[in-house]
Each structure stands twice: as structure tokens, then as C-alpha cells.
Homo-oligomer: A and B are copies of this chain.
Amino acid sequence: MPTVKDVAKLAGVSVGTVSRVLSENKAVKQPLKERVLNAVEKLGYKPNLAARALRTNRIDVIGLVVPDITNPFFAQLAKCIETEAAKRGHSVMLANSHDDAATERKQISALLDRSPRGMVVVAAADTAELGYHTDVPVVSLDRRFENFPLVSTDHAHGSALIADHLYQLGHRDIAYIAGPQNTEVGRSRKQGFISRIQDLHSENDPVTLRTYDGLFDYKSGEDIGRKVLTAWDDWRPTAIAAASDQLAIGVLRVARDLKLDIPADLSITGFDDIALASLIVPRLTTIRQPTERLAETALAYIFSEDASTTVPMKEHPLKGEIVIRGSTTAPEK
């Protein structure tokens, strides 16, 4: 592998000049610059990234920690982060926390040890405190990690869109299956839904809402869905709003087992718009998270001055949009 030295020799300049040509580009005059570039070309020179990293104490890598890359939403997010990072010539280092605080901590410090340019973390649900003092800019994505700035969708807003949609269709008996209440995401989605329903509710035209807390996964959807749907002698919702697509799909599954016709007998909504949402039957009405913009915003922060100057980031959550598909309709009279 050729080094700066080889390039310098071939171009008849000093290594400093080679280095300058390869970076600042200014300063160096045209004739020299050209000779260097030619030598680089001829030798197929590629800078040794480790040496550069040692010198500059910085590496063109973004660390990314997600709870589970197998979760379609996180995979989507990871893909967008990778794309955004690539735009800036950075690679991404991926680790799974398995939604476990201890593993998360281990993974984060493993990545931090490599002194990446920045760090994006989608926090584990049960994240614990662990006081980092690092120069690496860290940003939370989707779920807040510690008290690092958070880039996320406006969950309450998304939930309100769903509430509006169901209300407008005529639903007045609604069940809400919430995500884990030890997560900000779970809480804001639930809160946003409840408070919009409260706004819509009136004495003349009352809305009955029952909420159930679960996790974000399929299984939770199945379990809670079964509970809700087999207690019909008591009370019967005409619509179930779930805090995630995976929950919604779990509910859908149970509903089908129970021979219900979706959406005729029961409307179902999700949240996230994972790829699968439009592949199941019926297609799922849901909230589309702006994943590209989330990734873009997270990386923009990392590369911004603010990240290094400890200026707290202005957090303005990004709006999602409602995607109305076949899983919702007006309730039967």
C-alpha cells in the first residue's frame, strides 16, 4: 500500500504538501496540486484511515445503537441513517441493545471507544442512567437516551390524527392498546390519543374509551386483542387503535382467529407504517413516520456546531401523516 511518502516522492514534493492537497485543498498552488493528484492517481493511493484517526482523533464513522435491527421500524431507521451518513462520507457502526439497559451500556461504550464522529442511539425501553462524559456528540432517535437531545416524531400529534379519523368515521366505542408506559414514546402516543378523544367527547355525543397497556410487539397485540375481543358480553369496541403496527397486526391476527371481518366488524389502526402495514390483508390504516427526515435531522445535529458547543438542541418533533387504508371503515349500525 502506498503512503503519503510514496506520493510525495513521485510528485517531488513534501509529505505536508500531499496532505494539504488531500484535505484543505486551498493554499496549494495549481502546478503542485496537479502533480500530487497525478501521483495519487498513478499509485492508487488511499489514505490510511487509522493514521488519520490517530492524528485527528476523529474517524468518519457514526455509531448506531438500536434495540433490535430485526424490528422493521428500526431497520428502516438504520437504513436511512446509513444513507445520510454515506452522503457525508461516513460509515455506520451498528449494535443491538436487545432492549436491555446493561447490553446497551456495553454496546455504547464499545462504539464510543472507537471515537466515532457521532453517535445515534435509539434507547432501550428500560434504559438506565449511566452518566457519560464524552466529547462525541450523541443524539437520541425515536426514544430518548439519557438526557441527550431527541429527534422524534410528534407522537401525540399522530395519535390525535388517528383519534380524529376514527371519530369522523363514527366510532364511539374505542379501545386503545398502548405501548410500554416506561417509554416516552408509549406515553406520548397514549396521552395524545386520550386527550384528543376527551376533546371530541361531549354529553350529547359521548365517546367510550378504554385503554390497555402492553408492549410494542405482535405478541402483546395478540394477547391484549384476545382479552378485549372475548369480553364482548361486557362492552364492545367498534374500533381498536394500537400504539404500533406490530401491535395492530397482532390484534388483526386474533380478530381473524375469532372469525371477525375486518374492517366491517372492527376497525383497526396502527402506528409507524412499517413496510408490512401495506402488505397484510386488509392493509393497515396507520401513521407514517417521517423516517428519512428523522435520520436527516439526527445527523444534521451531529454535524452541527451545537453538538460540540453543548448548546441544547431545539427539539421540534417532526409531524407524521395519516395513511388511510382498508383496515378502517364506519362502524355498522
Segment with Cβ contacts to B, from A9-17, A44-52, A189-197, A203-211: A44-52
Q: From residue A37, how far is it (CB to closest CB) to chain B in Å?
A: 18
A4 at the interface (CB under 8 A from B): no
A221: nearest chain-B partner, CB-CB: B279
Segment with Cβ contacts to B, from A72-80, A164-172, A306-314: A72-80
20 residue pairs bridging A and B, Cβ less than 8 Å apart: A48-B54, A48-B115, A49-B113, A49-B114, A50-B54, A61-B114, A69-B79, A69-B82, A70-B75, A82-B95, A83-B96, A86-B95, A86-B107, A92-B94, A93-B93, A94-B94, A218-B279, A253-B279, A253-B280, A253-B281
State the CA gap A96–B70 with chains docked (Å). Answer: 15
State the CA gap A107–B82 with chains docked (Å). Answer: 11
Q: Once the chains bind, are A46 and B113 in contact (CB under 8 Å)? A: yes
**Chain B positions within 8 Å of A76 at CB level:** 70
A6 at the interface (CB under 8 A from B): no
Number of copies: 2
Q: From residue A174, how far is it (CB to closest CB) to chain B in Å?
A: 24
User: Knowing that A48-B115, A61-B114 are A-B contacts, what are 18 other residue pairs whose CB atoms are under 8 Å apart, sorted by A's residue number?
Assistant: A48-B54, A49-B115, A50-B50, A50-B53, A50-B57, A50-B115, A53-B53, A53-B54, A54-B54, A68-B79, A70-B72, A70-B75, A78-B94, A93-B94, A253-B279, A253-B281, A257-B281, A280-B280
A51: nearest chain-B partner, CB-CB: B54
- Assuming the contacts A218-B279, A253-B279, asked whether A69 and B61 have C-beta atoms less than 8 A apart, the reply is no
A267 at the interface (CB under 8 A from B): no
State the CA gap A8–B279 with chains docked (Å). Answer: 61
**Chain B positions within 8 Å of A61 at CB level:** 93, 114
**Chain B positions within 8 Å of A253 at CB level:** 279-281
